[in-house]
Amino acid sequence: MMTNYLQKAVLIVDDDTFVLKITKAMLERMGFTQIEKASNAVEALTILKKSQISVQLSLVDLNMPDIDGLELLRLFSEIDYEGDIILFSGEDCKTLQMAETLARARKLSVLGSIAKPITPDKLMSLLSKTDMMDSPNEEITQKSKITKEILEKAITDENIIPWFQPKVIIATYQPIGVEALARWPNSEFGPIFPGEFIPLAEEYGLIDALTDSLIKQTAQIGKLWSHKGINLKIALNLSMDSLYDAYFPERFNTIVTQSGGNIEQFQFEITESRLMGELAQPLEVLLRLRIKKIKLSIDDFGIGFSNLSQLHELPFDELKLDRSYVAAKPSDHRASAILETTIQLAKQLHLTTVAEGVETLEDWNKMKALGCDQVQGYLIAKPMPAEQIPEWLNNWSQQYKQLFN
Ligand code: C2E
Ligand code: CA
Ligand code: CA
């Protein structure tokens, strides 16, 4: 029964501390009570060997430096681990499926695999395959009760708002722009993150309404900033669905103009892994945005499988290097090599490079040494409400000198 299951221990194995943290928080919200975290295979095995902890479910990241997920599965079978396993990864579905097959061949109980990011919905649908989930607990039903109507109302009432995270030029420390990140702070279920409501909005056909609302709010904020003499480029995340809408560029133009904003202040980010496949329609929309002088970024570069030579045929101006590469340890030679060649090639293609998820001075220095142009991340600032940006700008002009002296 679910209630029993929730009392059993769950183990999350991922080298990314951010993923560990958000996955743990998500499991807690789902009602799991005993959650163990391991940032590598050795830690994972130590936990599994502890007799007082009976791990019933392990969530295993396939991509880890040193001992990767596949090798960990072999070690799981060597110690006769009997709990269930869910694999997750930023890799494509085929790799995940092959990993599942391999694990089953090792007589491990694999419930299935999840492409990152892990969401409660994805997890629930795997857990519901077992008999452990036949009496879902209160909170899960609540969560999955974000109906189309609730989400639609939140969008109409502008309860989903943009927060902003600064981007800084490495060479000069100068803030150049901000990325707008959607936030739903006061839902009836508590704060909900975009990793949860963006996929829901796409599923419910509400993503256009949400994007339009964020464009409108952001245009108004941009106008206000301009009046204060703050000229930052504002990057909005664009769902691939919007690129299949031939009218999007016109609609964008209308909303911004009606809100008193300036379209050239905007920039759009589109996730790399979604830029694969049939591209004729998206290409038209991208080109029309480009003709309107809107800058375009490839987001999360490195997670998907496209190579730069394919992407350079598309009208992009900027490449955002995914956090998993930026935060990789110097000993992770594969990540370093990918970063280095990507930045060099991007330069030849006249693409601006932006490192995402820069959390430490070490990350900053590494990206600087590699010739990356801009950085974004907790080291500089976490995403914040629009009202806090002017004050942050003021503080930053002093703060960076202390930070980098
Ligand atoms: P993204 O576009 O890759 O956004 C960057 C994410 O990394 C944000 O998460 C941000 O808060 C987080 N982040 C920034 N710096 C750091 C750092 O130094 N360390 C760590 N660990 N994390 C950092 P967030 O806000 O939860 O957004 C998650 C994803 O949701 C975004 O990933 C984006 O793909 C999507 N998203 C957010 N807002 C929107 C939106 O308005 N429209 C669409 N279509 N997608 C959105
Ligand atoms: Ca982004
Ligand atoms: Ca990103």
What is residue 138's predicted lDDT score, i.e. its pLDDT?
38
Ligand 1 binding pocket includes 193 (Cβ within 6 Å): yes
Residue 98's CB is within 10 A of a number of other CB atoms, namely 13
What is residue 304's predicted lDDT score, i.e. its pLDDT?
65
Q: Name the residue type at position 341.
A: T
In this structure, which residue's CA is closest to atom 37 in ligand 1?
A: 181
**CA of 182, closest atom in ligand 1:** 38
What is residue 278's predicted lDDT score, i.e. its pLDDT?
64
CA 269 – ligand 2 centroid, Å? 6
Ligand 1 binding pocket includes 297 (Cβ within 6 Å): no
What is residue 27's predicted lDDT score, i.e. its pLDDT?
87
What is residue 307's predicted lDDT score, i.e. its pLDDT?
67
Highest averaged pLDDT of the listed ranges 27-41, 82-96, 213-227, 328-342: 213-227
Ligand 1 binding pocket includes 378 (Cβ within 6 Å): yes
Overall residue count recorded for the chain in this entry: 405
Q: Closest ligand to 378 CA?
A: 1
Evaluate whether 368 touches 347 at the Cβ level (below 8 Å): no
**Predicted confidence (pLDDT) per residue in 203-221, tens digit:** 999 999 999 999 999 999 9
Q: For the chain, give the longest Cα–Cα distance.
A: 65
Closest CA to 165 of 175, 176, 178, 174: 178
Residue 372's CB is within 10 A of a number of other CB atoms, namely 24
Ligand 1 binding pocket includes 363 (Cβ within 6 Å): no
SS3 190: coil
- Find the mean pLDDT for residues 47-64: 86
Q: Return the minimum-mean-pLDDT range out of 30-34, 88-92, 194-198, 367-371.
A: 88-92
Q: Closest ligand to 194 CA?
A: 1
What is residue 110's predicted lDDT score, i.e. its pLDDT?
87
What is residue 30's predicted lDDT score, i.e. its pLDDT?
81
Inter-CA distances, 25 with 9, 34, 63, Å: 14, 12, 21
CB contact set of 242 (below 8 Å; sequence gap of 6+): 207, 208, 211, 248, 285
Q: Closest ligand to 383 CA?
A: 1
Q: Residue 136: is its pLDDT beyond 50?
A: no
Q: Residue 2: is its pLDDT beyond 50?
A: no
**Predicted confidence (pLDDT) per residue in 140-193, tens digit:** 434 467 999 999 999 999 999 999 999 999 999 999 999 999 999 888 888 888
Q: Which two tokens stand for residue 276?
A: 């694969």
Evaluate whether 227 touches 260 at the Cβ level (below 8 Å): no
CB contact set of 225 (below 8 Å; sequence gap of 6+): 231, 232, 389, 390
Quickly state the pLDDT bin for 108 (edges 50, 70, 90).
confident
**CA of 271, closest atom in ligand 1:** 34
In this structure, which residue's CA is closest to atom 17 in ligand 1?
A: 357
| pTM for the full predicted model | 0.70
Q: Is the dihedral of CA 73, 74, 76, 80 positive or negative?
A: positive
Ligand 1 binding pocket includes 117 (Cβ within 6 Å): no
Give the mutation target among 181, 184, 197, 272 for probing the ligand 1 site: most ligand atoms within 8 A of CB.
181
Across-strand partners of 318? 297, 352
DSSP for 360-390 reads SHHHHHHHHHTT--EE-STTT---EEGGGHH
Q: Name the more confident of 101 and 48.
A: 48
**CA of 320, closest atom in ligand 1:** 3
Q: Return the minimum-mean-pLDDT range out of 134-138, 211-215, 357-361.
A: 134-138
CA 142 – ligand 3 centroid, Å? 29
Ligand 1 binding pocket includes 322 (Cβ within 6 Å): no
Could you give the CA distance from residue 15 to residue 248 in angstroms, rounded to a whole number? 39
Supply the mean pLDDT for the chain.
87
Residue 263's CB is within 10 A of a number of other CB atoms, namely 19
Q: Name the more confident of 370 and 66.
A: 370
What is residue 141's predicted lDDT score, i.e. its pLDDT?
38
HSE-CB for 262 with a 13 A CA cutoff: 13
Could you give the CA distance from residue 98 to residue 110 in angstroms, rounded to a whole number? 12
What is residue 180's predicted lDDT score, i.e. its pLDDT?
98
Could you give the CA distance from residue 219 to residue 230 in angstroms, rounded to a whole number? 13
Could you give the CA distance from residue 59 to residue 44 in angstroms, rounded to a whole number? 11
Q: Name the residue type at position 204.
A: Y
**CA of 356, closest atom in ligand 1:** 15
Q: Closest ligand to 382 CA?
A: 1
CA 359 – ligand 1 centroid, Å? 14
What is residue 123's predicted lDDT score, i.e. its pLDDT?
84
CA 348 – ligand 3 centroid, Å? 22
Q: Closest ligand to 239 CA?
A: 1
What is residue 155's predicted lDDT score, i.e. its pLDDT?
98
Across-strand partners of 85? 58, 110
Q: Return the minimum-mean-pLDDT range out of 115-129, 163-177, 357-371.
A: 115-129
Ligand 1 binding pocket includes 198 (Cβ within 6 Å): yes
Quickly state the pLDDT bin for 130 (edges 50, 70, 90).
low
Q: Return the minimum-mean-pLDDT range out of 7-21, 68-82, 99-113.
A: 99-113
In this structure, which residue's CA is closest to atom 15 in ligand 1?
A: 377
- Find the mean pLDDT for residues 293-320: 81
Could you give the CA distance from residue 200 to residue 181 in angstroms, rounded to a whole number? 16
